[in-house]
Amino acid sequence: MRKSGLDNRRMSSSAAMQQLYDTPEADLLAEIRQLREKIGDRVLILGHHYQREEVIAFADVTGDSLKLAQLAAQTDAPYIIFCGVHFMAETADILTSDTQTVLLPDLAAGCSMADMADAEQVSRCWAELGEVISPDETVTPVTYINSTAALKSFCGEHGGIVCTSGNAQKILEWSWSQREKILFFPDQHLGENTALAMGVPDSDMILWDPAQHLGGNTSQAIEKARLILWKGFCSVHQLFRPEHAEAMRDKHAGIEILAHPECSRSVCEISDFVGSTEAIIQYVNAAKSGQAFAVATELNLVNRLRLQHPEHAIYFLSPTVCMCSTMFRTDPQHLLAALREVDADHAAHPIRVGKTDRRWAKLSLQRMLNLA
């Protein structure tokens, strides 16, 4: 059977990547440095905090997903290489101009949490809420930035907004000022932990399971709820347990437990500090020398904090190594392949958000940015 052009391109791409994996590491890194210098300001390399160290080494800027997307929008670089995952590159594409091209080094770098809520499920949820209440009049949809452009678009179209782990409380306050209820997706834990910190009682919250009609709730529960939490989670942060914190405290006197709000309620409740990735970094930066920390977030960041702060004793909270497998997919081989594309002025696999989703998603993002 004759192979199509697409099949041939896939075979060619696969062969090229295999050649890179067969290349000695020293040669690989040398070519990355050479191309980076040659290309100059035609490219901006963004590195998310959770990236492996050998990729972060080549990043022009590091940070969380929103910070990096905002910085991409402030540059004139025609090419943006986003070392992160798919939803991050989408956000960068939404916020940058039409003359800029966003590249994701490995197109398989996704997010398990973002995959737990898709546009079809959320639209069905909205329709089912309509069997009980009038959602367009009573519910503000809020999506965590760790979500697809389609969900950001849904929020934009329905009077909703995007939030980050750093501004979630401000976003919830704004959302309740707009309408009496909030539908929060895709991460249950960020929504729940933020609401609890605000003093919202359990009786005002319900959990929405997209696999069940009405999310597994009664009509009465939906009518009463102020916060509807989507049944979703981060596969890394859910692995941390309260007993891990207890074991650390038994072993290390005076240790402080630092947790990301994507961790479960039971972990956040016994932690000394709960905050976004940026907030955790700032907390450690400001600590007195000699302080010990056990950190409940992605391992690459914890290891980087350990390297940057030899004056502190910094531990990974879980006894089990749990890297984000999708974040970890971005490696030097894929970064080099992306740089070769830029050098040839040809983006084979750009991240492009469709016109309609781009318009509505940008509105939901802009609502959030206006609150800052």
Cα 306-307-309 angle, rounded to 5 deg: 65
Q: Return the pLDDT at 320.
A: 78
Contacts of 291 (CB under 8 A, 6+ apart): 254, 256, 312, 313
Which helix (H) or strand (E) segment is 221 a member of?
helix 219-224
Boundaries of domain holding 293: 237-316
Could you report the per-residue pLDDT of 92-103, keeping only the tens digit for each? 999 999 999 999
Could you report the per-residue pLDDT of 205-241, keeping only the tens digit for each? 999 999 999 999 999 999 999 999 999 999 889 999 9
Residues 101 and 136 in one domain: no
Could you report the per-residue pLDDT of 138-183, keeping only the tens digit for each? 999 999 999 999 999 999 999 999 999 999 999 999 999 999 999 9
CATH of the domain at 255: 3.40.50.10800
And the tokens for 331? 């490696």
Residues 184 and 213 in one domain: yes
DSSP-derived 3-state class of residue 332 = helix
How far apart CA 59 and CA 105 sit, in angstroms, is: 13
**How many structural domains are present in the chain?**
3
Mean residue pLDDT across the chain: 93
Residues 179 and 190 in one domain: yes
Contacts of 338 (CB under 8 A, 6+ apart): 81, 103, 105
Residues 228 and 241 in one domain: no
DSSP-derived 3-state class of residue 105 = coil
Residues 145 and 225 in one domain: yes
pTM: 0.91
